Amino acid sequence: MEQDEDLTKIVQKYWTDLYNNNEDQQFSTKSKEAFNFLKRVFKYNTFAKRDGSIVNSIKISDDQVITDLDEINRILIEVLKKIQLDQQVPLLQPPDKFPSLDPLQNLEMAVIV
């Protein structure tokens, strides 16, 4: 009985480690292998099932993925600020004043028409 429990824990650890390793590969240069693993083991693409509405990790570089939610929120807010507001460009330019022109003479009107 105890031997069965140990065997179950070993199998669970194996698959957990395998799946976690695959998740890490998703954000690396080995993403193709990670996709193929999911396709082969789960028979569907779980990457495509993620709609992106909840961001739980950010890839900084090939070997660095941030999973801390507070850090992710801070980074996303910084990026959104850069996208939404550029401090070098004023929000609104004051409109140019429309020039005040003298009325056209009859001869000028005839040339226009």
Residues 84-103 have a mean pLDDT of 75
Beta strands 64-66 and 58-61 are antiparallel
State residue 18 phi and psi, 5-degree precision: -65, -45
Q: What is the pTM of this model?
A: 0.34
How many residues are present in the chain? 113
Q: What pLDDT shows up at residue 112?
A: 86
What are the pLDDT digits (tens) for 3-13?
777 888 888 88
Q: What pLDDT shows up at residue 30?
A: 81
For the chain, give the mean pLDDT.
Answer: 77
Q: Which residue has the tokens 């009985």?
A: 1
For the ranges 35-44, 55-64, 79-88, 104-113, the maximum mean pLDDT occurs at 104-113
